[in-house]
Amino acid sequence: MAPHFEIPKTQQAAIVESTDAPLKIVRDHPVRQPSELKPGECLVRLECSGVCHTDLHARNGDWPQAAKLPLIGGHEGVGHVVAVGAHTQGSPVKVGDRVGIKWLAYSCLDCEQCRKGIEQSCPNQQLSGFTTDGTFSQYVVSWVSHVTPIPASLDSFEAASVLCAGITVYRALKYSQTHIGDWVALPGAGGGLGHLAIQYAVAMGLRVVAIDTGAEKRELCLKLGAERWVDFRESQDLVADIVAATDGQGPHAAVVTAATGAAYAQAVDYLRPGGALMVVGLPAHAALSADIFFTVTKSISIFGSYVGNRQDAREALEIAARGKVKCYYVRKPLSALAETYEGLAKGTVVGRVVLDMQSE
Ligand SMILES: [Zn+2]
Ligand SMILES: [Zn+2]
């Protein structure tokens, strides 16, 4: 018999009413009841949710595409399925399963992009914490086709940040056309995405040149397996230092997750001929201005890499479950969300913040 869950009528949730209103934490937000779920939907009781820079962009209305309002943000949630909509056919998950809620909440699975495995670019998609309410609440409604089963050996708080930050950097590395022993440059290596990228890169047999600043981040990067460190504040010539650190020829790939535009253009200058620039970060109001002459004559490839599909998600979680990737996070209550946004805006968050959704 399927386990039974008591489902309350109301819950704690963090609500954005408009892009300029302060974030509101309420205790009486309605919980969608099992009888109200459509076929294909499920209700998940959340244990925790990571906080991503994207949540801040969504909250501030930074992008060309606007989020729904009012909005519950969040897209790195882990919890248990407590109900599945009546008449759901062939669900890959059942009541009681532990699952992850990621940025891509739904895709049609039948358009050209979905059929080719880039469901992240499906025109019929739903995005958690953007077009549909996300995980900064105790209960979330999502789609059975896109919630991700969490491997049993992986702790929920560890899994949370893999669901967005981990999948994103894992896929970018996977498609970077690198091979075992190649060098990869990771600007922002000490941050939320970067520190996971170091570990995935090392697990893939790549050699890492970490680019960031400060003693605390340097120590973390080297501890996680980066072989070279370049401090962008201390460096007089960043491009020359990165080339010198990678056998004098430059890295074979750069996975750029930075929240500013300059880091993207620099990569074209320091990459080895034939190298790949993986464009991953989504800085607000930024354009990529690569030097065309050197992009052509160095045979540089530029790829946009956007989160990951369902297979990328499974792979990224499996690697973490095998202990190859550990997230450095601080556990906080939902009420700490506003101060976490302030920290992200100032760039003072080392590693990741994961909110405990069941603590008061
Ligand atoms: Zn994210
Ligand atoms: Zn589609």
pLDDT in tens, 163-204: 999 999 999 999 999 999 999 999 999 888 999 999 999 999
Spell out the residues 6+ positions from residue 27 whose beta carbon is closer than 8 angstroms to its own.
10, 11, 12
CA of 116 to the centre of ligand 2 (A): 9
Domain 176-304: assigned CATH number = 3.40.50.720
Instruction: Evaluate if residue 2 carries a pLDDT over 80.
Output: no
φ/ψ bin of 175: left (φ > 0), alpha (ψ from -120 to 50), beta (otherwise) = alpha
**Same fold: 10-164+308-356 with 176-304:** no
CA of 148 to the centre of ligand 2 (A): 18
pLDDT (average), residues 48-58? 91
Ligand nearest to the CA of 112: 2
* The listed CATH number (3.90.180.10, 3.40.640.10, 3.90.1150.150, 3.30.70.1400) that belongs to domain 10-164+308-356: 3.90.180.10
175 vs 34, 155, 201, 254, 292, CA distance in Å? 40, 27, 12, 11, 22
Ligand nearest to the CA of 77: 1
149: preceding bond cis by omega (within 30 degrees): no
Q: Residue 360 — very low, low, confident or very high, per pLDDT cuts 50/70/90?
A: low
Which of 11-20, 252-261, 305-314 is predicted with the least confidence, judged by mean pLDDT?
252-261
Ligand nearest to the CA of 281: 1
Domain ranges of the chain: 10-164+308-356, 176-304
Q: Is 222 helix (H, G, I), strand (E, B) or coil?
A: helix
Question: Is residue 27 within a helix (H) or strand (E), and if so which, with residue range?
Answer: strand 24-30
CA of 245 to the centre of ligand 1 (A): 30
Spell out the residues 6+ positions from residue 244 whose beta carbon is closer than 8 angstroms to its own.
none
